Amino acid sequence: MAGNTLPFKSNYAVSSKIEPFYKGGKVQISHDEQYIFCTCGPRVNILQIDTGKIIHSIEQDDQEDITSFSLSPDDEILVTASRALLLKQWDWKQEKCTRSWRAIHNVPVASMTFDCTSTLLATGGCDGTIKLWDVVKQYCTHNLKGSSGVVHLVEFHPDISRLQLFSSSVDCGIRIWDLRTSKCICVLESHYSAVTSLAFSPDGQTLVSSGRDKICSVWDLKKKAVKRTVPVYEAVEGVVVLPGKSDYSQMGVKGEGLHFVTAGSKGVLRVWDSSSARCVFTQTLPDAPALNTEEGDLDPRSLMHLLPMPQSNRLATVTAEHNILIYQMPALTVQQQFVGYNDDILDVKFLGKDDTHIVVSTNSSQLKVFELATNSCQILYGHTDTILSIDVFRKGSMFASCAKDKSLRLWKMDLKSGHVHCVAQGSGHSNAVGSVACSRLKKGFLVSGSQDCTIKLWDLPDPLPDVGCEPVLMTARLTERAHDKDVNSVTISPNDKLLASGSQDRTAKLWSLADMSLLGVFRGHSRGVWCVQFSPVDQVLATASADGSIKIWSIQEFSCLRTFDGHDASVLKVIFVSRGTQLVSSGSDGLVKLWTIKTNECVKTFDAHQDKVWALHGSSKDDLMVTGSADSTITLWKDVSEVELAEEQAKQEDQVLKQQELSNLLHEKKYLKALGIAISLDQPHTALRVIREIRQQEDGVQELEKTLLKLRQDQKESVLRFSVVWNTNSRSCLDAQAVLQVLLTHLSPEEILQYQGTRTHLEGLIPYTERHMQRIGRLLQASMFLDYMWQKMRITGGKDSVNLDDDEGMDTSPQSIFIVDKQPMDMADIPGSLQQQEDEEEDLEDSEKREELLDEDESVSTSKSAHVNGMKPNGVNSAVDEGQVSSEESEDEDDVMEMTTKSTDSDPSKTADIR
């Protein structure tokens, strides 16, 4: 094959990822307007606005979801609240927790805010209470009660001298709290549904509140009364007061009165005059289709948050699709747009002259165009159903898309501004269009394949319309029924003369583009064909199938030249790289594989996705590739050099050597060095392995104590930090407690407090330790109850003796099965039972003997053994006559419950005489 002198690719490395960083919840912008803070499950992600990169990710150790958070106005303190009812204070720039404390709330915290001095923190709980915390002196200053239900909104008055806090709960009222007296001085009642946002005028005398009851209320805070009720005719989620100094004439602001901006369910920004209650400006979205007002509340473009950025005179909005848009005022032009969450990635292609952008289709009707340098995104509206496939013309400024709405669209990028707009559209298929291919030599035509089993050839309009013009209509020049089932893939040869199609009917076909005549059929796959691809240099075709194989076919003889097996599931995409000498494939097993065609071997397997990898594309320079998966992640891969590969291998070998050295040290019982290596690797699980090895020794307690006390101070700090992680898991909590016992026993409080983050670690240990103690207590009660029931059972019909300890040795054959006598016991049959009960009660009244029975396994075992053999604990024989059984049925219940369950494990010689 051609290109044998070209060096083969041996490895790709992940260059960057576009991952979900926001899945709903609170969003906050830093005071310096450089960062966006948003929640994503157990994490708070910090997005740098200029670069669009996630620079920090604050994550809970216990993996509990974060219910609320707040960043102080000085941008120094971040406090998070989780479902574990813990508040944590973070040095977010270092990603370190500096302090944690119990929230005191009985249920999770729903809202949180700082005052303007960054010293007071207010938390509103789902229990209807509000707590105020002094984050400097670290104590709770107020406990405000009176709200009904979840307190979902708390805000300090901007004038700190007033010492007022505003809150709202499910009763739809706005409460004003006087922090001097800790009392509610007023309830502002105007809304009939949840109050979503509060905004104060610059002088602090006026308050604007928004609600889902489709109104905004303007309040006079001196009179504590409504000045104006503004009907907005949509559920309002956010309100921002416009500062009075700037010129907002472009937004309809003509007077000097108070004006405010609203964002809500209809997905547009509106400007309102508070004095006249009129809407003076409504934002238009030219790229988006008209919104159905009847379904406006459910529209995915509904705005969920509106955030002011006063320093740069901007506004930020958050949509229901988890997109964050930043607008420049007063023109309200979109400056930046970030996609917080992508659904399943179905297709992705490089775009632009030098592959500066990627265009992505997700499980939605919108296309997303990402600028790789900043991760800023354009959202393209046009299709009305899920977009299934994309293909790009050779120079990269135009591309085509097809969707389930049975249509195709042609898009063009302005290379100067980067703006993309639709220039043409076509329809004609009777079912979803699953694949589209663009011509290779010139921008002349498109080919589409559909679930209606047909292939259509489309001519492009000439000339194409300019920016801002309506897209022109395309009509199909040729239509051919191509397959018996869905057409999954179509591709055009490099010379624009041939067309290949792959179908769910397990075949691939070759067509002449001149007249759409069939040239041949490729048969050999046992399941549907997902992808077909021409080689850029050779006369061969690659096909990827749901049978897990990739095949190379001769397009002259229609014979299979090579087969590549390696994926454990369907192969979804395949591309040629290295000038046709190698293949890259992706599958529904989440793997990406690099193949060398000449040797028929898999060179490398890349595992960076957790679900089906639907999308795969290579750059024009053949040095990058991009993959997209159903796990909502887009991964950009770079062809790494041999030097980088050698460095990576050296790191891995170093890790392997350290792991081997660790195993050798454990085998040689050199625990101090082993623990030192585990700490140097900064791997809590590896350190836990060492701790467990130490504790499994005969003198494990002494060995653990000796090892830990010999560690350096920084190593002890690491072990203490590891213990906090171990303590969150019931499987490793005993190891954590053993380490803590040594440290707390032999180190003074002053020494421990000198360790970095000690206070945070110890406070984080308390709630989980309490959980473990409660669980152990319940387990002990259950085991004691089982022990009690065993001692109370009357067993008849068995052999003369039974080994109670050896369960495996118990004879379970039919002739020796124990039969529990369910008949009431006749006390006349056991003449000595009453006397035995009285003797036992007298013996167990002595508290010292009780403690001895609890603490000493041997004495407990002897005692129970004596009972089973018909002897009392004090050695007096009990009456056992022919056909009579002396059991613990007459024993005092409280005394029996105090016995430990260890007795059944200690003495293998215990037997019971059963006649």
Please name the residue that has the structure tokens 């809202």.
111
SS3 label, residue 301: coil
Which residue, 20, 16, 117, 15, is CA-closest to 76? Answer: 117
DSSP 812-860: -SGGG--EE--SPP-GGG-TTHHHHHHHHHHHTT-HHHHHHHHH-HHHH
Least confident of 33-47, 113-127, 205-219, 711-725: 711-725
Query: What is the average pLDDT value for the chain, to the nearest integer?
Result: 81
- Bridge partners, 702 (sequence order): none
Backbone angles phi, psi at 67, to 5 degrees: -90, -25
What confidence category does residue 183 fall into, taking pLDDT thresholds of 50, 70 and 90? Answer: very high
DSSP 601-669: EEEEEEE--SS-EEEEEE-TTSSEEEEEETTS-EEEEEE--HHHHHHHHHHHHHHHHHHHHHHHHHHTT
What confidence category does residue 668 fall into, taking pLDDT thresholds of 50, 70 and 90? Answer: confident
If you classify domain 18-248 with CATH, what class do you get?
A: mainly beta
* Cα 248 from Cα 121, distance rounded (Å): 34
* Cα 490 from Cα 509, distance rounded (Å): 10
pLDDT single digits (tens) 226-255: 999 999 989 999 999 998 777 888 888 887
pLDDT single digits (tens) 269-279: 999 998 888 99
What confidence category does residue 289 fall into, taking pLDDT thresholds of 50, 70 and 90? Answer: low
* Cα 205 from Cα 209, distance rounded (Å): 13
What confidence category does residue 812 fall into, taking pLDDT thresholds of 50, 70 and 90? Answer: very low
What confidence category does residue 295 fall into, taking pLDDT thresholds of 50, 70 and 90? Answer: very low
The DSSP code for 251 is G
pLDDT number for residue 156:
95
* Tokens describing residue 290: 């008209």
**Residue 880: pLDDT over 50:** no
pLDDT number for residue 868:
35
* Cα 493 from Cα 507, distance rounded (Å): 18
Least confident of 257-266, 335-344, 698-707, 880-889: 880-889
Least confident of 21-25, 162-166, 198-202, 442-446: 442-446
Across 776-808, b (16+ Cβ under 10 Å) vs e yields eeeeeeeebeebbeebeeeeeebeeebebbeee
pLDDT number for residue 763:
78
> Is residue 128 within 8 Å of 150, Cβ to Cβ?
yes
* Tokens describing residue 345: 């990635």
pLDDT single digits (tens) 516-530: 999 999 999 999 999
pLDDT single digits (tens) 539-590: 999 999 999 999 999 999 999 999 999 898 999 999 999 999 999 999 999 9
What confidence category does residue 641 fall into, taking pLDDT thresholds of 50, 70 and 90? Answer: low
**What's the helix, strand, coil split of the chain in %, to 5?**
20, 40, 40
**Residue 842: pLDDT over 60:** no
Q: Which long-range contacts (CB under 8 A, 24 or more apart) does 251-255 make?
A: 251/280, 251/281, 251/329, 251/330, 251/332, 252/280, 252/281, 253/280, 253/281, 254/280
pLDDT number for residue 132:
94
Angle between helices 733-746 and 684-695 (to 10 degrees): 80
pLDDT number for residue 503:
95
The DSSP code for 464 is P
Domain ranges of the chain: 18-248, 648-778
Least confident of 198-202, 288-292, 586-590, 669-673: 288-292
pLDDT number for residue 157:
93
Top pLDDT among 668 and 893 is at: 668
Least confident of 399-413, 773-787, 837-851: 837-851
pLDDT number for residue 574:
96
Highest mean pLDDT among 7-11, 434-438, 841-845: 434-438
Residues 6+ apart with CB under 8 A from 715: 675, 676, 679
What Cα–Cα distance (Å) separates residue 358 from each residue in 259, 322, 782? 40, 20, 60
pLDDT number for residue 794:
59
**Residue 803: pLDDT over 90:** no
Residues 6+ apart with CB under 8 A from 533: 491, 541, 542, 543, 544, 574, 575, 576
Please name the residue that has the structure tokens 């206070």.
759
Which sign does the torsion angle of CA 551, 544, 493, 356 carry? negative
pLDDT number for residue 642:
61
pLDDT single digits (tens) 403-447: 999 999 999 988 777 788 899 999 999 999 999 999 988 778 999
> Is residue 420 within 8 Å of 380, Cβ to Cβ?
yes
What confidence category does residue 480 fall into, taking pLDDT thresholds of 50, 70 and 90? Answer: very high
* Tokens describing residue 725: 């992680």
pLDDT number for residue 679:
81
Top pLDDT among 707 and 271 is at: 271
pLDDT number for residue 705:
84
Verdict on whether the full-model pTM lies above 0.75: no
pLDDT number for residue 187:
92
**Residue 875: pLDDT over 70:** no
pLDDT number for residue 257:
84
* Cα 109 from Cα 119, distance rounded (Å): 19
Sheet with 54-59, strands from edge to edge, namely: 27-29, 35-40, 43-48, 54-59
What Cα–Cα distance (Å) separates residue 736 from each residue in 728, 742, 887, 901? 9, 10, 42, 25
**Residue 380: pLDDT over 70:** yes
* Tokens describing residue 773: 């103690």
Top pLDDT among 852 and 420 is at: 420
* Cα 524 from Cα 392, distance rounded (Å): 30
pLDDT number for residue 81:
92
pLDDT number for residue 526:
93
SS3 label, residue 679: helix
* Cα 884 from Cα 882, distance rounded (Å): 6
pLDDT number for residue 288:
57
Rg of the chain over Cα atoms, rounded to whole angstroms, equals 37
pLDDT number for residue 590:
92
* Cα 151 from Cα 175, distance rounded (Å): 10
- To the nearest whole percent, how much of the chain has pLDDT over 90? 41
* Tokens describing residue 602: 């898999």
What Cα–Cα distance (Å) separates residue 811 from each residue in 562, 799, 805, 816, 846? 63, 10, 13, 6, 40
- Bridge partners, 173 (sequence order): none
pLDDT number for residue 238:
94
DSSP 380-419: E---SS-EEEEEE-TTSSEEEEEETTSEEEEEEE-TTT--
* Cα 703 from Cα 70, distance rounded (Å): 45
pLDDT number for residue 736:
87
Q: Which long-range contacts (CB under 8 A, 24 or more apart) does 840-847 make?
A: 840/872, 840/873, 840/891, 840/892, 840/895, 841/892, 841/895, 843/872, 843/873, 843/874, 844/892, 844/895
**CA angle, 709 as apex, 704 and 714 as ends, to 5°?**
115
pLDDT number for residue 915:
28
Residues 6+ apart with CB under 8 A from 342: 18, 20, 360, 362, 368, 632, 634
**Residue 801: pLDDT over 90:** no
**Residue 691: pLDDT over 70:** yes
* Cα 502 from Cα 531, distance rounded (Å): 6
Q: Give, rounded to a whole angstrom, the gap between the first and last alpha carbons of the chain.
A: 90
What confidence category does residue 664 fall into, taking pLDDT thresholds of 50, 70 and 90? Answer: confident
**Residue 91: pLDDT over 50:** yes
Mean pLDDT confidence for 831-849: 40
What confidence category does residue 667 fall into, taking pLDDT thresholds of 50, 70 and 90? Answer: confident
Sheet with 333-339, strands from edge to edge, namely: 303-309, 314-319, 323-328, 333-339
The DSSP code for 18 is E
Mean pLDDT confidence for 110-128: 93
* Cα 616 from Cα 575, distance rounded (Å): 8
The answer to whether the peptide bond before residue 202 is cis (omega within 30 degrees of 0) is no
**Residue 59: pLDDT over 70:** yes
Tell me how far the alpha carbon of residue 640 is from its chain's centroid.
Answer: 29
The DSSP code for 104 is -
